[in-house]
Structure 1
């Protein structure tokens, strides 16, 4: 009798992002350079050399990726990554070929965050938590932020 396996594989969490992109090898290279992503194993390639499936670890999280196909069309996503130094992560991403979406800045919700877009059109936002904000204070700050946006 075969040993019982866990319903969630070791190293994974309940939710796992799966990126479907045009040019997976380029996106994987970006993830390695900018985010320190590491392969669990070599990617599985299709006969034409495109990526059928790859799994990468970023920090304590897994991300799956593949090239688009007739069954799975490319669709950009936005991912939010907590990092120790948002400014350094943002700069690494720019050096790896990303374009700026938002320069890092302190946000009303208690994070310092900034974002970039990779060549496949995915947005990667980086955050460093700098302050715990109570629900009541968060509501107050959000209302103030929306008033400032409306006035601008």
Structure 2
């Protein structure tokens, strides 16, 4: 069996540079690579790192089957991040254009969590320790 060394989600968005700026500002993501712009002026991929994890942002290209949440009528994936202060992260995301979907509150399963939709339609569960 082949060993998988890493899995990196790739978020499909209409505007990769705008999305990259949002993730840097709202989540503190570090941009570690940006491909040169293609014929349409958009980079084909922008790599980011948050803590010990990474994710990529790429433009929606329907002919490749790369569809954004708005193309699909909603997000098909939930991205979950565990943070020290879920309230602060949620507030920062909302201040940068995200929408609250489920309030960040203490949950009966022993975590403080909630859900936001980023400006590009991706859903994020923000979770941390109870307050």
Query: Structure 1: where are the runs of 5+ without partners?
Result: 1-6, 9-13, 132-152
Residue 51 (structure 1) shift: 2.4
- SS of corresponding position for 2:101: strand
Larger Rg belongs to: 1
Q: Which residue of 2 aligns with 1:119?
A: 119
**Two-structure CA RMSD over aligned residues (Å):** 2.0
Superposed displacement of residue 15, structure 1: 2.4
User: What is the total number of aligned residue pairs between the two structures?
Assistant: 121
**Which residue of 2 is the match for residue 48 of structure 1?**
40
Q: Which runs of 5+ in 2 are unaligned?
A: 70-74
CA spacing shift, 1:105–1:41, aligned 2, 3 Å = same
Poorly superposed stretches of 4+, deviation over 6 Å: none
TM-score by length of 1: 0.72
Task: Report the CA distance between 1:42 and its aligned residue.
Answer: 2.8
The answer on whether the counterparts of 2:34 and 2:45 sit within 8 Å (CA) in structure 1 is no
Q: After the TM superposition, which residues 77-96 of structure 1 pair with which residues of structure 2 at under 5 Å, given as runs?
A: 77-96=77-96
Q: TM-score, normalised by structure 2?
A: 0.82
What is the Cα deviation at residue 102 of structure 1? Answer: 1.5
1:65 aligns with 2:41: no
Alignment check: 8 A CA contact 1:44 1:54 kept: no
